[in-house]
Amino acid sequence: MTTSDPRLLVSTEWLAAHLGAPDMRVLDASWHMPATGRDAYAEFRERHIPGARFFDIDEISDDQSDLPHMAPPVEKFISRMRALGIGDGHRIVIYDSAGLFSAARVWWLFRLFGKTDVAVLDGGLPKWIADGHPVEDGAPILRDRHFTARRHASLVRDVTQVAASAKLGDAQIVDARSPARFRGEEPEPRPGLRSGHIPGAKNVHYSTLLNEDGTMKEPEELRRIFTEAGVDLTKPVITSCGSGITAAVLSLALEQIGHRRHSLYDGSWTEWGSYPDLAVEQG
């Protein structure tokens, strides 16, 4: 293990040793920014960890929302997990094709719906391949399983709650976007959004929490990065980013260092930056 808590992050060696266990389920949660033009599912069909199922972040979402990939209603999440053959009592390991990027979002979704026996593959598919482990193509044959879930509202925040926290200071808002986007020095990738950040927010670019091979840094280093960014780790934290994907990398890192009082702003900057009556800071 390269990390302190195997319930959160598992190594490629650990997964290879447990891959054939009947209670193990592996999910490919790869997702790409729309501008990349990449098709995550097509790439999954070409190459994935043996037995993995594809978790479609954009489809398994709230289709009543105009915002991208918002957390789905609990009934939809249950339906999709059953169809993927994910059942009660399964251990779940999630990975993505970037290393550690969108997998954390799906880890957070499972946590949101009350599932704690869920881990992220440290370093994802790139490290799995680099370490000499096999891949396969095609798609698995799936069989429905019984899956129950209950939404834990404490793990998610909406725009009204975030606005109140920004005003009252009862929780720290930590933004995972790049420093240039956070400061408002470069335009947002989504059209129509203002540039800048939520007033009072701190900036911890998600990539600073990762090693060059896509694995997460050691807990002591994670703690130092948050602290040097001005985050008081004795207080609650609300994580944010562009659209709720990389905010979950911060959430995973906070969990890894034992900080349990964190929630995720699901609408993130896509929502905040589109409201002209919400204050924006730059610089």
What amino acid positions are annotated as catalytic residues?
Answer: 241
232: tokens are 């008081």
Query: At a CB cut-off of 8 Å and minimum separation 6, what does 220 contact?
Result: none
Q: Which of 135, 102, 137 is nearest to 120 (CA)?
A: 102
DSSP string, the chain: --SS-TTTEE-HHHHHHHTT-TTEEEEE-----GGG---HHHHHHHSBSTT-EE--TTTSS-TT-SSTTPPPPHHHHHHHHHHTT--TT-EEEEE-SSSSSSHHHHHHHHHHTT--SEEEETTHHHHHHHTT---B-S--------------GGGEE-HHHHHHHHHH-SSEEEE-S-HHHHHT-S--SSTT---SB-TT-EE--GGGGB-TTSPBPPHHHHHHHHHHTT--TTS-EEEE-SSSSTHHHHHHHHHHTT---EEEESSHHHHHTT-TTS--B--
